[in-house]
């Protein structure tokens, strides 16, 4: 079960994404705290949660996150859960971790903080990013993909926007790009490639949604060994505000 989410904010001046807070669900209680990324001079705290040093708690999901859940009364709600591959038991955190809680009116996104799966491995689900920037034939290639098809990672070493960028491509010919891994995970994915070796980091097709919006068309799963020297998101900006 997803227990922690990182809240990332896009700086309106630099257009870069920075983790500014963490939300946790534990023992039927929600907890919220800012991280060191919130020290950015352009960042403004959220509403009444204006004390950067305080850890907030609530029996209900905080409004800033609750507003990012799709209303159950929306006609596309069932399709939406299907696109997110949410089946059986539902919880708010699971929806937010898959949808990223994106709203057109602000510059915030949510991502899960990975924990070991039942086998003790690293496993994370994510939607392919940046697919609006690749060739139109992308959608046509999606039609041939099946669940558990293997995808390959491609280090985009000359990417001026992100030196850690990892593209996704098909394994079978003809080779085609299928977007990018989320920038939020790219640095950790690169660490795992270095620690475990390229032959032991696997990306699979989890779900293809041909009728979904572009950003929800290809759901992927990355699985690899949880190396003893690996700590997810161990950079200073992810740590609790001090």
* C-alpha span between 61 and 70 (Å, rounded): 14
What pLDDT was estimated at residue 4? 95
DSSP letter at 35?
B
pLDDT at 2: 75
Is-contact 126 220, C-beta < 8 A? yes
pLDDT tens for the chain, 242 residues: list them: 678 999 999 998 888 899 999 999 999 999 999 999 999 999 999 999 999 999 999 999 999 999 999 999 999 999 999 999 998 878 899 999 999 998 877 899 999 999 999 999 999 999 999 877 777 777 788 889 999 999 999 999 888 878 899 999 999 888 889 999 999 999 999 999 999 999 999 999 999 999 999 889 999 999 999 999 999 999 999 999 98
What residue ranges in the chain does DSSP mark as E strands? 4-10, 17-26, 29-34, 55-58, 108-112, 121-127, 150-155, 166-170, 177-180, 201-208, 218-225
What is the predicted pLDDT for the residue at 113?
A: 95
Question: What pLDDT, on the 0 to 100 scale, is given for residue 6?
Answer: 97
Please give the span between the terminal C-alpha atoms of the chain, in angstroms, as a whole number.
28
pLDDT score for 1? 64
Give residue 114's pLDDT.
94
Predicted local distance difference test score (pLDDT) of residue 233:
96
Domains of the chain listed by start with CATH number: 4-115 (no CATH), 121-225 (3.30.70.2330)
Closest CA to 179 of 209, 124, 140, 135: 135
């Amino acid at each position: 079960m997803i227990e922690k989410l990182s809240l990332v904010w896009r700086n309106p001046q630099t257009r870069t994404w920075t983790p500014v807070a963490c939300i946790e669900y534990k023992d039927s209680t929600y907890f919220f705290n800012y991280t060191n990324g919130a020290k950015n001079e352009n960042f403004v705290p959220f509403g009444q949660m204006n004390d950067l040093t305080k850890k907030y708690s609530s029996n209900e999901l905080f409004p800033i996150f609750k507003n990012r859940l799709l209303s159950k009364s929306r006609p596309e709600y069932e399709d939406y859960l299907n696109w997110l591959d949410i089946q059986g038991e539902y919880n708010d955190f699971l929806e937010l971790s898959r949808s990223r809680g994106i709203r057109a009116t602000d510059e915030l996104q949510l991502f899960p903080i990975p924990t070991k799966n039942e086998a003790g491995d690293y496993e994370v689900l994510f939607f392919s990013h940046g697919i609006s920037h690749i060739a139109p034939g992308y959608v046509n290639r999606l039609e041939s993909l099946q669940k558990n098809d293997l995808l390959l990672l491609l280090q985009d070493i000359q990417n001026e926007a992100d030196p850690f960028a990892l593209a996704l491509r098909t394994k079978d010919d003809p080779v085609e790009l299928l977007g990018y891994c989320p920038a939020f995970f790219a640095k950790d994915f690169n660490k795992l490639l270095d620690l475990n070796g390229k032959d032991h980091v696997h990306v699979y097709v989890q779900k293809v949604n041909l009728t979904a919006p572009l950003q929800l068309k290809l759901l992927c799963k990355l699985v690899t060994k949880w190396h003893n020297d690996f700590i997810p998101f161990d950079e200073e900006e992810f740590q609790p505000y001090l």
